[in-house]
Chains A and B, each alone.
Chain A
Amino acid sequence: MNTLKRYLGIIWMLLGPASIVYAIWNAALELSPNAKTPPTQETYTFWIIIIAIFVPIAIGISLMGYYAWHGDYDHLDEERGVPE
């Protein structure tokens, strides 16, 4: 299980930047003057809020991946809690 936790850490590390790129790409498409539906004030508000909020969260999941890759989550059962 610890090996799985560590290797999945790489996926979480990559998921952060991938989701930022995906959000920015979609924002650019929707806010482009050539967009299928012309952008309105609501479109700008939506993307400003989404990017401002989710970029720090995406950085957070990358950080969690980094911790997982370094084995920080390997021994949670021993660190805290008592057997049921």
Chain B
Amino acid sequence: MPSTPTNLTTVEKKTIRTVILASSVGTLIEWYDFYIFGALASIISTKFFPSINPTAAYLSVLATFAAGFVVRPFGALVFGRLGDLVGRKYTFLLTLIIMGGSTFAIGLVPGYTTIGAAAPITVLILRLLQGLALGGEYGGAATYVAEHSPGHQRGYYTSWIQTTATLGLFLALGVILLTRNSLQLEAFNDWGWRIPFLISIFLIAISIYIRLRMNESPLFQKIKEEGTISKNPIKESFAHRANMKMVLLALFGATMGQGVVWYTGQFYALSFIEKTCNIEFVEARNIILIALVLATPLFIFFGWLSDRIGRKAIMMTGMMLAIITYRPIYKTMYHISDVAQKQEVAQSTTNPNNETTVILKSYADNTTYKETIKNISSPKPSVTKEVNLGTRSYWLMILLIFIQVVYVTMVYGPIAAFLVEIFPTRIRYSSMSLPYHIGNGIFGGLTPYIATRLTTHLDDPFAGLWWTIAIAGLCFIIGMIYMSNKIDENVAD
């Protein structure tokens, strides 16, 4: 298969399905490994980073916030280079082993009370390894699938890889909830939280088995046989003006905006409904999960559509809709959960003990509100507010999150095919990985943190959206003016 095929035989169709399966399962598991750390961050911080030790607390901040995201572009450089030198197959096999090994090891690290400062340092190193591995994985998987795909269906086939980030989040939440429900809370907090990390080794073993049976990418194999492999992919990618201009365009005209739209729709939205709208913990996650389930097939749809009308057209439309509608959407989300706007029908106050007061209110639309005030005699009592929406408001909230996830599928579904097509085979892995991980790891990954900080500093619940709107707006202008909507069907260059 020296160049990308145009019409697939039955055997080739079977091959491409196996290629997608092998790539997607591995990438999904890597996302799973990446997310369980975040989802269990609060427990991890108590086990490894005692707050009484300022140095350990500092390491905690670095480990949980910065390391996982910031290190991703470095992983892109390290493994991208390797992928262009030794091949796609073995490189993304290596990232899988590193990710699985570090995740499994996190589950084995003794706590701070047992080994002291060695615990947070070890966890930080393992988290850095996770970020590095993820930085190398995606570019390899996307390149591998794209280089097996026929030119006229590249958007469709690579869009399967694009679903893995969302499915990895499902898997992480599912395994954590299953473990949590199978154990007593005490046992889960004591040792049960290690189970999601430890079972990663089985998932990785399955994925390694599948990937080992795969062949090298046909396009990479071809340039290897011809002896035209790049001798220095990093230099060729980033020191040669003709390629560097495309790296910069990919970052500022596509991945930067795509990253902020993605993280706003899937992660900042959860933070907003939980912290600003006070939606109860489980209900907030249910809302996000239902919206994600409903919208995930659209990754495939927009990937398929991008083969017909172009990648740029869909990504820019998604970005534009996000820029225009984010503020009205978030204002509506805030409004439907604002109990001050609702007609109260009943109220009760109880005092379970001398230090706690619980106020329960219900409203005409079946919304309920619970306010728990603890330590009422202290100068600063702690107040927890929980809102459970009435049926109509609940489904309206799901619709508003669903709309945001649709934007995510529009900007993210076609991006793998877009990135693969703008770089040549000999330096494709290095060149596409860096803009992808700066766009998603830095601009996207920092979105919840920066947006929450803006909201707090400006004392405006919607101020955080200006980060997303500004970055997506700049990206939209650059993308519209500089990027081409033409599909490069032949990527065997």
Q: Is A46 interfacial (CB-CB < 8 Å)?
A: yes
Q: How far is the CA of A5 from the CA of B482 in the complex (A)?
A: 7
Segment among B18-26, B27-35, B246-254 that sits at the interface with chain A? B246-254
Binds A, one of B3-11, B56-64, B181-189, B229-237: B56-64
Give, as a whole number of angstroms, the nearest-CB distance from A38 to chain B: 14
**Nearest Cβ on chain A to B206's Cβ, whole angstroms:** 36
* A81–B485 alpha-carbon span in the complex (Å): 9
Q: How many angstroms between the C-alpha atoms of A84 and B488 in the bound complex?
A: 9
A68 within 8 A of B: yes
Cβ A76 vs Cβ B482 within 8 A? yes
- Chain A residues lying within 8 Å of B62, measured Cβ to Cβ, are 45
Query: Is the C-beta of B44 less than 8 angstroms from some C-beta in chain A?
Result: no
Report how many residues on chain B are interfacial, defined by Cβ distance under 8 Å.
35
Nearest CB of chain A from residue B423's CB, rounded to whole Å: 9
Bound complex: CA A46 to CA B61 (Å): 10
Task: Among A57, A73, A84, point to the contact of B245 (Cβ < 8 A).
Answer: A73
List, in ascending order, chain A residues with CB within 8 A of B449's CB: 46
CA distance A30 to B438 in the complex (A): 26
Return the CB mask of A40-84 against B: 1 if under 8 Å, else 0.
Answer: 011001100100010001001101100110001100110011111
Q: Which of B33-91 contact A (CB under 8 A)?
A: 54, 57-58, 61-62, 65-66, 70
Contact A60-B484, Cβ < 8 Å, known A41-B54, A72-B241: no
| Docked-complex contact B488 and A80, CB < 8 angstroms | yes
* A84 CA / B453 CA spacing, docked (Å): 44
B489 in contact (CB, < 8 A): yes
Measured in the bound complex, the distance between the Cα atoms of B65 and A83 in whole Å is 44
Q: A45-B58, A60-B252, A72-B241 are in contact. Are A81 and B486 (CB under 8 A)?
A: yes
**Residue tally, chain A, CB below 8 Å to B:** 27
| Other-chain residue from B57, B438, B486 in contact with A82 (beta carbon distance below 8 A) | B486
Query: Given known contacts A64-B245, A72-B241, is B484 in contact with A82 (CB within 8 Å)?
Result: no
Query: In the assembly, what is the distance between CA of A77 and CA of B66, in Å?
Result: 38
Question: Are the C-beta atoms of B453 and A80 separated by less than 8 Å?
Answer: no
For residue B260, CB closer than 8 A to chain A, the reply is no
Decide if A46 touches B453 in the complex (CB within 8 Å): yes
Q: Are B486 and A73 within 8 A (Cβ)? A: no
Q: Is A8's CB within 8 Å of the partner chain B?
A: yes
For chain B residues 460-493, which have a beta carbon within 8 Å of chain A?
478, 481-490
Q: Are A67 and B252 in contact (CB under 8 A)?
A: no
Q: Which chain A residue has the least Cβ–Cβ distance from B488? A: A81
Q: Is the CB of B57 within 8 A of A41?
A: yes
CB <8 Å contact, A64 and B57: no
B422 interfacial by beta-carbon distance below 8 Å: yes
Docked-complex contact A84 and B484, CB < 8 angstroms: no
Q: B interface vs A, CB < 8 Å?
A: 54, 57-58, 61-62, 65-66, 70, 241, 244-245, 248-249, 251-252, 309-310, 421-422, 438, 442, 446, 449, 453, 478, 481-490
7 closest residue pairs by CB, A with B: A81-B486, A64-B248, A81-B488, A67-B245, A72-B245, A77-B484, A76-B484
30 A-B residue pairings within 8 Å (CB atoms)? A12-B252, A41-B54, A41-B57, A45-B58, A45-B62, A45-B66, A53-B70, A53-B446, A60-B248, A60-B251, A63-B244, A63-B248, A64-B245, A64-B478, A67-B241, A67-B245, A73-B249, A76-B482, A76-B483, A77-B484, A80-B421, A80-B488, A81-B484, A81-B486, A81-B487, A82-B488, A83-B486, A84-B309, A84-B310, A84-B485
